[in-house]
Amino acid sequence: MKPTILLDGVSKSFGAIRAVRNVSLALAPGEIVALVGHNGAGKTTLIKLMLGLIRPTEGVVRVLGGDPSTDAEVRAAFGYLPENVAFNPALTGRETLHFYSALKRAGREQVEGLLERVGLAEAAGRRVRTYSKGMRQRLGLAQALLGRPRVLLLDEPTTGLDPALRRDFYRFLEQLRDDGATILLSSHALSELEGRADHVIIMGRGEKVADGTLDELRRLARLPTRIRIRLAEGERRDGFQGSWRAVNGRMLEIDAAPEEKVALVRAAMGAAIADLDVVPPTLDELYAHFQDRQDLDR
């Protein structure tokens, strides 16, 4: 499938600071992409490059086949939520959305539905000045979703959302993805993205450190899977020597390399056990692994 967003050898410098260095990536339609990295890793710069708000010092940025910095057509297909979104405090939430929907030629009739969706229907007539941080964030989300965007670029979208709204938000994103939208999320809340992101890009110091599906990254990282068992009453732990460690009482655990994983689980099943957990490395651990590796390479 033709990629929606294509970056080829993109670098961006601000004076002496090289914010993004030689990044190439391709994002396909119908996928949720997680962009993760420490503060200052170049996530926001990368998003601004995709939006065409800034131009690359080197390399090429293509979105939907066009150059987003010059092609207004391309930008009409965007939904963007900036980190720390701000609105004019003197206007009401509804007026704000009417303004943005007009700019996007999105039709006013969407506005009420979106206000409802983000839980701002009651506050829509109040000025943004009176909104809490979470409410502003929700207004920002509503604005990003105007006009059925084909490319959603969301910078830290879930800060300030309560768990129920967060779940609803991800469900909505999944709908948009199934319609063929490309969704890029940048986030610090890695555990939240787990199981939701189809594709993970890890940035470190302006460079792309890792890029792939969560499974691909796990294979690449070769991080151990943690197997934890609880022995049944009366069973002795003689069969579990070596790397098996005892954790409080009858629990035992081991960090299994990818190729020994199945054998170890089979061995555990052979004994009388009351419980078994197999925990693959989390996104947090993968992230830490790739970060450390980048540090070693320097």
Q: Say whether residue 131 binds another protein (CB under 8 A).
A: no
Q: Which of 78, 170, 244, 290 binds another protein (CB under 8 A)?
A: 78
The answer to whether the beta carbons of residues 184 and 50 sit under 8 Å apart is yes
Q: Say whether residue 86 binds another protein (CB under 8 A).
A: yes
Q: Say whether residue 76 binds another protein (CB under 8 A).
A: yes
Least gap, CB of 153 to another protein (angstroms): 8
Q: Provide the residue type at 7 as one letter.
A: L
Instruction: Residue 69: count other Cβ atoms within 10 Å of its Cβ.
Output: 16
Listed ranges 82-90, 157-165, 254-262, 281-289: which one lies at the site for another protein (CB under 8 A): 82-90
Least gap, CB of 72 to another protein (angstroms): 4
Q: Say whether residue 289 binds another protein (CB under 8 A).
A: no
- Number of residues near another protein (by CB under 8 A): 29
Which residues have a Cβ under 8 Å from the Cβ of 174 and sit 6 or more positions away? 32, 196
Listed ranges 85-93, 162-170, 235-243, 267-275: which one lies at the site for another protein (CB under 8 A): 85-93
> In the range 136-175, which residues lie near another protein by CB under 8 A?
140, 143
Q: Which of 38, 99, 126, 285 binds another protein (CB under 8 A)?
A: 99
Instruction: Residue 24: count other Cβ atoms within 10 Å of its Cβ.
Output: 13
Q: Which of 66, 82, 134, 258 binds another protein (CB under 8 A)?
A: 82
Q: Say whether residue 84 binds another protein (CB under 8 A).
A: yes
Give whole-number Cα distances, 233 to 238, 247, 271, 272, 276, in Å: 14, 16, 12, 8, 14
Q: Say whether residue 73 binds another protein (CB under 8 A).
A: yes
d(CA 15, CA 20): 12
Q: Say whether residue 72 binds another protein (CB under 8 A).
A: yes
The site string for another protein over 43-62 (x = CB under 8 A, - otherwise) reads -----x--x-xx--------
Least gap, CB of 2 to another protein (angstroms): 21
d(CA 155, CA 187): 7
Phi first, then psi: what are they for 40, rounded to 5°?
A: 85, 15
Torsion sign over Cα 190, 195, 196, 197: positive
Least gap, CB of 84 to another protein (angstroms): 6
Instruction: Residue 42: count other Cβ atoms within 10 Å of its Cβ.
Output: 23
- Owner of token pair 């490309």: 182
Least gap, CB of 138 to another protein (angstroms): 15
Which candidate, 73, 14, 16, places its Cα nearest to that of 48?
14
∠ CA(248), CA(249), CA(253), 5° rounding? Answer: 65
> In the range 9-48, which residues lie near another protein by CB under 8 A?
14, 48
d(CA 80, CA 137): 12
Q: Say whether residue 100 binds another protein (CB under 8 A).
A: yes
Least gap, CB of 105 to another protein (angstroms): 8
Which residues of the chain form contacts with another protein (CB under 8 A)? 14, 48, 51, 53-54, 72-73, 75-76, 78, 80, 82, 84-88, 90-91, 95, 99-100, 102-105, 127, 140, 143
